Amino acid sequence: GDSVTQMEGPVTLSEEAFLTINCTYTATGYPSLFWYVQYPGEGLQLLLKATKADDKGSNKGFEATYRKETTSFHLEKGSVQVSDSAVYFCALSDGGYQKVTFGTGTKLQVIP
C-alpha cells in the first residue's frame, strides 16, 4: 500500500536558519503530494501541494519539489521564523479514491 516516510523530530533551529524536512513516499500510480501544517491545538492547514513530477509547490516562503526519480518531496524554507514553529505533515493522495496517507509528522521548534 501507499506510505509516507518523513524525518523524525523535533527539529530545533534558530530564527533565520535554513530548514529542510525530508519526505519520501511509496505509491502505485501517480499520487498528488502535500505538506500540511498543524499549530498547537488546531487542525491541519494545507501548506503547499504538487500534482505531478517536477512540479514545485510554494507558499509563505516554503517550497517542495515533486521528485519522481527519488520519490521525494522535501520541504524547504530559506529563513525560518518563530511563528513557523508547528508540526509538519507530508502526505499523498491517490487520484481516484481521495484517500490521504500521512507521514508521522515532524515537529519544528524555532528559537529566537
Interface positions with other proteins (CB under 8 A)? 32, 34, 36, 41-46, 49, 51-52, 89, 93, 95-96, 98-100, 102-105, 107
Residue 89 CA to residue 106 CA, distance in Å, equals: 7
* Least distance between other proteins and beta carbon 84 (Å): 19
The residue whose grid cell reads 513516499 is: 25
Nearer to other proteins, 15 or 56 (CB): 56
For the record, the C-alpha cell of 59 comes out as: 507558499
Cα separation, 26 vs 28, whole angstroms: 7
Closest distance between other proteins and the C-beta of residue 23, in Å? 12
Q: What is the CA radius of gyration of the chain?
A: 13
Which CB atom, from 32 or from 62, has the smaller least distance to other proteins?
A: 32
**Closest CB to other proteins among 42 and 69?**
42
Question: Cβ 63 to other proteins, closest distance in Å?
Answer: 17
Cα angle, residue 21 at apex, residues 15 and 26 outer, rounded to 5°: 170
**Shortest Å distance, C-beta 110 to other proteins:** 18
DSSP letter, residue 52: S
